[in-house]
Structure 1
Amino acid sequence: MLHTSDWHIGHTLHGFPRNEDFDAVLAEIVAIAQEYRPDLIVHSGDLFHTSRPTGRDMIRALQVLIRLATVAPTVVVAGNHDSPTYFEFFDLLTGPSVGRGLFFVDQVRPAHEGGVLTFDACGGEQRIRLAALPFVHPNRFWQRSAPDTSYSDYAEGMRELQAQLLEAMREGYDPDRDILFFAAHVYITGAKRSPREQAMDVSFEAAPEDLPKVSYTALGHIHCPQAVRGPKFPARYSGSPLAMDFGEANDSKSVVIVDAEPGRPVRVQPRPLSSGRRLAVFEGTLDKLRAEAAQYDGTFLKLLITGEEPDGTLSQKIAEIVPDAIVIRPELAGEAATDAILGCDPGDEPDLPDAFRAFLVQVGLSGAAAESMVTAFIQLLSEVDDETPPPVRAEELLRAALEDTWAEAS
């Protein structure tokens, strides 16, 4: 199997489009698929950066996925950035009903309705059974008896969903023929996150020991490629193919090649990706930048300049030193210090929660009360891209009352 994830097609970096980078790295992924000729290709979520991708972004994604499907059946699991409705539409246009070999899993489904997919492998001598678990919003596990969904509610709900899929996968299981794979878009406790993900990721967590015991679990949601620590069976985030912000500038991006066969341990091989413009961070004097200028050609470059006084010509000086770099809002060291209250680079997008936290500090609110408000604010932001409206307690209580009306006394 070839495992890839978190393409985030449509992402821009501080307003700079990245179409050139997406085209390059996606072509590299296609070339890797053509080289290895896997029996199955799995994309574990966040195909797009927003739930309302542009027409051009949809064309870019589908063109690449159709090319991958000519190599092997290709399954795409919806992430938290993806629209289930769009995925349902894509499946109608390019799915198995029209013979494309593309499978879009838009939402959690029972096994017989697309939750478990079966594919022949090795010319039919072996069989792959894949359980797919798209991003699950915590609202799914909201209980009428409790005002809020807790982390324990979420963890228990996820365990139940996984158990149902695993049970379905094991129906008719032949240990001499079958390979079991699992794909999920979820944050696993303990996974390494970028600074931006630490600030913005508000989805509830799942414990590594709760992952199903299968040959390999293909995870999506976290951009840093990494194995999940804890379970004795292989589980891995393939990560995003491009750095999404400067907090990921030093990540080694990759896809994952999974070699599985009944009766022997699975071999997992990350395959590095090298396409797309590099993100680089520089801190120092203009003289130091001048000495190192060649290494920043063709990069997105973030600079913090020291030893200079504000005179309005900083951008011009930098442009003359690194004319072939895309410079992202250069700053003087003294100016950057004024933004320290934000706790992270204010230019990294999205920065609304950090800006809101800074606002609360400015108006005199801090500590647990401020963090409670920030958490609520982040949850509201996350609802913007979620197509399932959150439950309304009053509506639920009214519906319950109507379902259990009093009988009139005779």
Structure 2
Amino acid sequence: MRILHTSDWHLGRTFHGHSTHEALSGVLAALPDLVREHDVDVVVVAGDVFDSSVPSAESLQTLERVLLGLRDTGATIVVISGNHDSPTRLGFQSVWAERAGVHVRTHPERLDEPVVVADAHGDVELYPVPFLEPALLRHRVGDVPMASQADALRWALGRVHAAVEQRRGALADSGAAGGPAATRAVVVSHCFAVGVSPEAPTIDVERDITAGGIDLVPLDVFDGIDLTLLGHVHGRAELSPRVRYSGAPLHFSFSEARKPRGAWLIDLGPRRPGSDDELAEVAATWVDLPVPRPLAELRGTLRELLDDAAHEFARDHWVKAVVTDSIRPLDSMRRLQTRFAHCALLEFDPEDRAHRTGATYGQRVRGARGDVDLVNAFLEHVRGAGLDEHERGVVVDALADLDGAGR
């Protein structure tokens, strides 16, 4: 069986104040052709379909269009809710959609009810585990600890394992061809799993990982499952041959600029009775998705950024400009946008910052020996450089006029 793994579409998200609707719609419109080209059997969307719990009409229409396009390929579609999604809104009319082969799961009641798809080796059972909020699960689980995402996922996977064993037992009793060995279990989940690179909490995840109850989930929670497909981290990651993130289909921050955008094509083979883990054979291939507008980070003085031919490649990119002038240039963003129309982020990082005193503003003020020194200390603090010769003359004249007026 061939599975296309994608996640974190974030329909409705903005990029530094700019709408991503057109770009994201174009990327997602490429998915059906990808499904046809690679003979995909199942498409998995591992959560955060929307960026908001109250998606716009435009986002809802885009989702409808993309799901229809995917379903027209003949593939089975499995979608779960993430921490950004409203389970009720995303799951609206999911009962009817399921009859058409689009399985949208947003509530924990059905997480041990698999979507079953057959191939030449038997049944593949896909267990959609939507984002689980521990605080909302406590009243359902009795005395089971439920203080963290790890607790929530251990509880959920316990139910999944019980369902897997029950189904395999039923197959064994029925004498069906292949018996229990013919079934394979795939979990789809939205969480932050241990094993992601250390920098991921700050650069790859769309929110602080503690927001909404999300925290670290040990990788061993997914032991014994043939394949686990995750959402929440925006960069692709292979935590083990059986556990992976696909990342987001679009760049949503400059920190993601060097990370590829795409999806996993995963071939799930038969189980291997008698092997060390007796789990199914898994082979994964990365496929790239279109990048509507590349990202570039440029660094230099404002004059260098405006004139240097080496930056010409970024004229049509999304641009993050780091301006290194000693004194912050006036109207920098407007001037940069005359060359880089899509300059979206501006930072000021003077090259001589390392050579400056680390004095606080209060220390600078207390060290001033007069009014001119006080103005100079203020400018050193707020713009990184004190009075130049012309400015000093202007300040001296202004203070003299004030003295003459009897200040």
TM-score, reference length from structure 2? 0.72
* Aligned mates of 2:347, 2:330 — CA distance in 1: 11
C-alpha contact (below 8 Å) 2:133/2:152 kept by paired residues: no
Is 1:252 paired with 2:257?
Answer: no
Over 3 Å counting, the alpha-carbon distance change for 1:199 and 1:129 in structure 2 is closer
* Aligned mates of 2:332, 2:156 — CA distance in 1: 56
Give, in angstroms, the shift of residue 157 of structure 1: 3.8
* Aligned mates of 1:199, 1:161 — CA distance in 2: 23
In the TM superposition, what are the counterparts of 1:10-409 in structure 2 within 5 Å?
10-71=12-73, 72-92=75-95, 95-97=97-99, 100-110=100-110, 115-122=113-120, 126-142=122-138, 150-151=147-148, 154-173=149-168, 174-192=179-197, 193=200, 195-196=202-203, 197=205, 200-202=208-210, 203-229=214-240, 234-262=242-270, 263=272, 265-286=281-302, 288-289=304-305, 290-307=308-325, 309-322=327-340, 325-334=341-350
Over 3 Å counting, the alpha-carbon distance change for 1:19 and 1:266 in structure 2 is same
* Secondary structure class of the residue paired with 1:321: coil
The letter of the residue matching 2:321 is: L
Q: Deviations over 1:25-54 (max 9, x none)?
A: 112222211111212111110000011100
Over 3 Å counting, the alpha-carbon distance change for 1:75 and 1:179 in structure 2 is same
* Secondary structure class of the residue paired with 1:38: coil
* Secondary structure class of the residue paired with 2:131: coil
* Aligned mates of 2:167, 2:31 — CA distance in 1: 34
Q: Deviations over 1:215-253 (max 9, x none)?
A: 211001111100115xxx511001111111112121112
C-alpha contact (below 8 Å) 1:7/1:46 kept by paired residues: yes
* Secondary structure class of the residue paired with 1:170: helix
The letter of the residue matching 2:238 is: A
Further displaced range: 44-53 or 204-213: 204-213
The letter of the residue matching 1:213 is: G
Over 3 Å counting, the alpha-carbon distance change for 1:39 and 1:170 in structure 2 is farther
Over 3 Å counting, the alpha-carbon distance change for 1:288 and 1:31 in structure 2 is farther
C-alpha contact (below 8 Å) 1:280/1:301 kept by paired residues: yes
Over 3 Å counting, the alpha-carbon distance change for 1:334 and 1:293 in structure 2 is closer
TM-score, reference length from structure 1? 0.72
Give, in angstroms, the shift of residue 67 of structure 1: 1.0
The letter of the residue matching 1:77 is: I
Further displaced range: 9-18 or 183-192: 183-192
C-alpha contact (below 8 Å) 1:77/1:106 kept by paired residues: yes
Over 3 Å counting, the alpha-carbon distance change for 1:15 and 1:198 in structure 2 is closer
C-alpha contact (below 8 Å) 1:44/1:78 kept by paired residues: yes
Match of 1:391? none
* Secondary structure class of the residue paired with 2:156: helix
C-alpha contact (below 8 Å) 2:132/2:152 kept by paired residues: no
* Secondary structure class of the residue paired with 1:271: strand
- Percent same amino acid at aligned positions? 25
* Secondary structure class of the residue paired with 2:32: helix
The letter of the residue matching 1:191 is: V
Aligned residues: 322
Over 3 Å counting, the alpha-carbon distance change for 1:217 and 1:299 in structure 2 is same
**Gapped runs of 5+ residues in structure 1?**
338-410
Query: What is the root-mean-square deviation of aligned Cα atoms in Å?
Result: 2.8
The letter of the residue matching 1:200 is: D
C-alpha contact (below 8 Å) 2:236/2:260 kept by paired residues: yes
